[in-house]
Amino acid sequence: MEYTLEYEAAQKLAVTAAKVLQPRSPIRTRELFAGRWNELTTVANSVAEVGLHALIYGERGVGKTSLSNVIAPTIWAYDDTDPPAPNPKLRLVIKAVTSSGDDFAALWEKLFKEVLWRDDKPTSGFLPGPKPAVNILQAYGLQQQSLTVDTVRRVLTSLPEGVFIIDEFDRAAPETSREFTDLIKALSDLAVDVTIVLVGVADTVDKLIADHASIGRQLVQVHLPRMLADELRGILTYAEKSLPVKFNDEASDLIIKTSQGLPHYTHLIGLESIRHAALKRYSSQITRMDVFEALKTAVKHAEQSTAAKYAKATHSAQKDALYKQIILACAITATKSMDSMGYFNPAALGPTLGKILNRAVTVATFNNHLSDFMHAKRGSVLEREGQARSYRYRFQDPLLVPYVFMHSLATGLITDKELLKMLV
């Protein structure tokens, strides 16, 4: 295969790459969606079974919104209906995003406003034709009332097979989860054939749904873990299929390792690597050097909030302060820790920090820094659990870990070879 690109082709590749690798927007189509078959099937099964609802939960940035976006095409495929919208045979799938502080009534108002009523049938999406459609709240004369659990249940009874997805549910007002618990119980008890899918950021279900034990059987809990290396590789493989590019093994390994299971970074670094290879080297073959340059660019363009957290955690007037090295050691240790919640044992920090500093270290070298990282003064980037002497730490924001790697590589605190070696 010929990897050299003409000027025009290189420019074109840099532009089209952004259609395949989209770090800033959730996935909308099934072709672009990598992995996650078990999770998708579990949700689709809960839709198929009357009385079953689903809760999708996971860390920031693991792909919750993307998963919830492909629920509709997945169940339409299961239902065996083609989606040219508006297709009257399509199952109704309605999605709303919670704004901070939305309560039960506000959320259902958002959802029901998307359900249009025409010719005595519910439907959604843009409807052509002369007849103006009314939404279901208008059709039922409910615009003026605040929606209660009972009213919502009654409206839902008239929307058989409907699927209602609520993203960012963790942002809802505190009492909301109790009302959802009540609603789900009522819907299951009365065998109403609709499915509610709640989506939110959390470690545990308890944080999202009140009294979840009492609806345990009615609520399928889908934990969305970080993506596996192979699933992330799927993102790069898809890019290779859709674009005239090839990632060297070393290049894709570096992208996948620094991504830490968070697909946002695979998209971001993948895209910047392609752009670097195309625009700076007129090549469609992505090498480790392109990835390295991409990491530098990614640091510059990283989300402001992530960059600000890193700066706050590591700033120091003293030149020999070790905040940057210690946070890097924490990031490496967190990566290697097998804990599913991202906790790491501080005892494991010593050897890694020793390698970074190239000298022997003791617990005293980093103990105070760990406490500092938990304080507001340093942005509370670490949190800890457990008892004194057996504390375990983790990054409060998982997106910070890849950023620490990118920044450390970009500023020469560590080389990519050294980092890769420490991560395995």
Give the residues lining the site for ligand ATP (CB under 6 A). Answer: 22-23, 26-27, 33-36, 60-66, 201, 235, 263-264, 267
Terminal C-alpha separation, the chain: 32
Shortest distance, CB of residue 63 to Mg ion, whole angstroms?
8
Q: Are strands 116-118 and 134-135 parallel, antiparallel or unpaired?
A: antiparallel
Q: Which span sits near Mg ion by CB under 5 A: 58-66, 86-94, 236-244, 393-401?
A: 58-66
Which is closer to ligand ATP, CB of 115 or CB of 400? 400
Of 229, 226, 94, 214, the residue nearest 161 (C-alpha): 94
Of 211, 418, 209, 397, the residue nearest 312 (C-alpha): 397
What is the amino acid identity at position 259?
Answer: S
Which is closer to Mg ion, CB of 55 or CB of 322? 55
Shortest distance, CB of residue 40 to ligand ATP, whole angstroms?
9
What is the C-alpha separation between 103 and 144, in angstroms, rounded?
16
Pick one of Mg ion, ligand ATP, none as the site partner of residue 337 (Cβ within 5 to 8 A by kind). none
Which is closer to ligand ATP, CB of 27 or CB of 353? 27
Pick one of ligand ATP, Mg ion, none as the site partner of residue 267 (Cβ within 5 to 8 A by kind). ligand ATP
Pick one of ligand ATP, Mg ion, none as the site partner of residue 22 (Cβ within 5 to 8 A by kind). ligand ATP
Pick one of Mg ion, ligand ATP, none as the site partner of residue 346 (Cβ within 5 to 8 A by kind). none
> Mask: binding to Mg ion, 277-316, rule CB under 5 A, as x and -?
----------------------------------------
| Residue 221 in tokens | 């809990």
Which is closer to ligand ATP, CB of 228 or CB of 348? 228
| Residue 361 in tokens | 């270290």
Which is closer to ligand ATP, CB of 14 or CB of 201? 201
| Element housing 223 (H / E) | strand 219-223
What is the amino acid identity at position 388?
Answer: A
Question: Is position 68 an interface residue for Mg ion (rule: CB under 5 A)?
Answer: no
Which is closer to ligand ATP, CB of 61 or CB of 122? 61
Q: Quick one: which of 44, 46, 47, 65 contacts Mg ion (CB under 5 A)?
A: 65
Shortest distance, CB of residue 242 to ligand ATP, whole angstroms?
13
| Residue 282: C-alpha distances to residues 9, 11, 381 (Å) | 9, 9, 40
What is the C-alpha separation between 362 and 107, in angstroms, rounded?
53
Shortest distance, CB of residue 199 to Mg ion, whole angstroms?
7
Which is closer to ligand ATP, CB of 152 or CB of 208? 208
Shortest distance, CB of residue 141 to ligand ATP, whole angstroms?
35
| Residue 204: C-alpha distances to residues 42, 167, 231 (Å) | 18, 16, 23
Strand boundaries in 266-353, DSSP class E: 285-286
Q: Which span sits near Mg ion by CB under 5 A: 56-64, 103-111, 187-195, 406-414?
A: 56-64
Which is closer to ligand ATP, CB of 304 or CB of 387? 304
Q: At what angle do helices 416-423 and 349-357 cross, to 10 degrees?
A: 160
What is the C-alpha separation between 384 and 392, in angstroms, rounded?
5
Pick one of Mg ion, ligand ATP, none as the site partner of residue 379 (Cβ within 5 to 8 A by kind). none
| Element housing 421 (H / E) | helix 416-423
Shortest distance, CB of residue 384 to ligand ATP, whole angstroms?
23
What is the C-alpha separation between 269 and 258, in angstroms, rounded?
9
With 0-12 CB in 10 A as exposed, 13-18 as middle and 19+ as buried, what is 28?
middle
Instruction: Indicate the length of the chain as a whole number.
Output: 424
**What 3-state class would DSSP assign to 15?**
helix
Rg (CA), the chain: 24
Pick one of ligand ATP, Mg ion, none as the site partner of residue 73 (Cβ within 5 to 8 A by kind). none
Residues that contact Mg ion, how many (by CB under 5 A): 2
Which is closer to ligand ATP, CB of 53 or CB of 267? 267
Shortest distance, CB of residue 238 to Mg ion, whole angstroms?
21
CB 13 within 8 A of CB 243: yes
Positions in the binding site for Mg ion (CB under 5 A):
64-65
